[in-house]
Structure 1
Amino acid sequence: MSDQTLGAQHPGAVLRGAVDLSSLRERATTAAAPAPATGDAPAPPLVFDATDANFATVLELSRTVPVVVDLWAEWCGPCKQLSPVLEKIVTELGGRLVLAKVDVDANPQLAQSFRAQSIPLVVALVAGQPVQLFTGAVPEQQVREVFAQLLQLAAQQGVTGTVPQGPVDPDAEQREEEVSALPPLHQEAFEAIEAGDYARAATAYEAALVEDPRDEQARAGLGQVRLLERVQGLDLQDSRAAAAAAPEDPEAQFAVADLDLAGGHVEDAFGRLLDLFAVLPDDERAPVRERLLELFGLVGDTDPRVLRARGRLSSLLF
């Protein structure tokens, strides 16, 4: 099975390029990791931590039951919003899926293999092969829909095993408490995202930034929900046709750039806006620069694609 993608029809699904797990498949490991239950062997937990050292065993587990992989970091506010939702749904599914949690700061090889340029990033493993799901703190109903599609795909690949109700990661309850203890405006944004009300979520994050301009979690969340709000309801073919018909219309080009970024075509999105910036008069360039900076922030300032795009932007400015 080649790398596959689910969730592309969902407006919030920011998908990355194909992942490369070859080095992880080949790595021999003696570290403890979840394994399928056989005979009297204990069942693996439904939610567990995956690491660079034990991931070969996680890949093997995915030949029995689909494995959802949650790439997160301690500093990531949207991660703390999404993780309890994933844990809740996986637990409700009663062992038809398991959830492997990857701290990207502690596991750089996995972060690189999955190209985790923006987190939370959620992918799946079916029979050892990656299936890309979505990026960002998406609403609970959308997670349920994507997981249902994942189970259908797994069944097509013959991966229909279940894990008996084993223990859940002991940190799960603590993470749920952390979500419930979010600052009021962050909690309001999270609830709005779950309801699919991206405009209200953006307003809450904007208010949080007024209270504390250094709130990086609010800044990251605001960028994500603004993108979700903009691409909601857009049709890719119609948007591309409109952009082709009006190559110097910023709004038409913005729509396709947003859709490209949401589809994982990062360089296409940047290239489209940089080409537009290059042909516009100086007094019309500001909105394009602002949109580029916003998209740079979503992908990550240290990403090589961002660094290249920033270099070209600088050359166009000076």
Structure 2
Amino acid sequence: MEGMTVPHDPSSQPASRPQSGAPQAQPSSPRQPQAPQRFVSGAIDLGTVKQQAVQRERHAQQAAEAGVSVDYVARSADVTPESFEQDLVVRSTQVPVVLLVGSARSEASAELKNFFARLVEMPDVPQEQLKWVFRYIDADAVPEMAQALGVRGVPTVLALVAGRPATSFQGAQPQEQVEQWLESVIQAVDGKLPGLPADSGAAAESQDSRLDEAAALIEQGKTQEAIAAYDAILADPNTEPELAATARAARANAILAERAGDSATGEQALEKVAAEPGDVDAATAAAELLALRGEKAQGFDVLVNAMRHTAGEEKDRAKQQLLQLFELYDAADPEVIAARTNMASALF
């Protein structure tokens, strides 16, 4: 599955995308991470896909009116066409942005995404002391962004500095080498970038040591103890709503990660359920993997679809699996409410 090409999307062509007749991505063997060199003068100008400044100002104003800190920066996030400029161009003028261009069809992409997401969340420091942030682009969902960056195969990891790729590697790599690569990126720009702003509206949950303790338990492989720690936070009557939401999401991920086991099994389930939507076991494994990736609405849809393709005991089993998945999340979650409506319609 690795060394896959970036999908070709003829419907949307950014200015920096290769023109018709240009060589397409070809499978290649993994390239080892290299220490960052000087910036490449011919690198793709990410500014060609910048969003209008007025749109950013409007979003900032809306966030301020809603009481949301405009200084808050997510350590890990998926990049969309709307967030491209802020997440990659602007952010990389403050700290290095480690960008993974991957695919849900690639096991190596999933492993790298989970690895970087865990790594960037580990430092227990204020936002302004962070040395880097992690961003992810789904090459299947938005191939035009991958092509604008000059990516020809997935997974590809780039270090963006000052709006340009400074160094990159392609394919699966040992975690130790990836950590060394990241450290070399950080050292190369040390003192040359201003860093992230302080989060003037930092949420209370980021200061709660119980979350850090639970995360440490997960790193140690003590998943059940971590789940118990999250349960204690949720049972505490003094827990603020924002902290409760964070703990609930982390608890769900811990449970799903334990159920998922080998990521390759989940990938196989995704492929199988695409061909056999009525396979309840495959649908359950696929739904849990999607939820673990932060795509719980898509996971709900897989099980609802399984209900529509089954009858009798199998249909009821799919329903029960879906109800168990609902239990991991807040009943007032809009995605849960929508999925419950879809489940009800699938019953008849």
TM-score, normalising length from structure 1? 0.46
- So what's the TM-score if we normalise by structure 2? 0.43
Greater relative CO, 1 or 2 (CA 8 Å, sep 6+) = 1
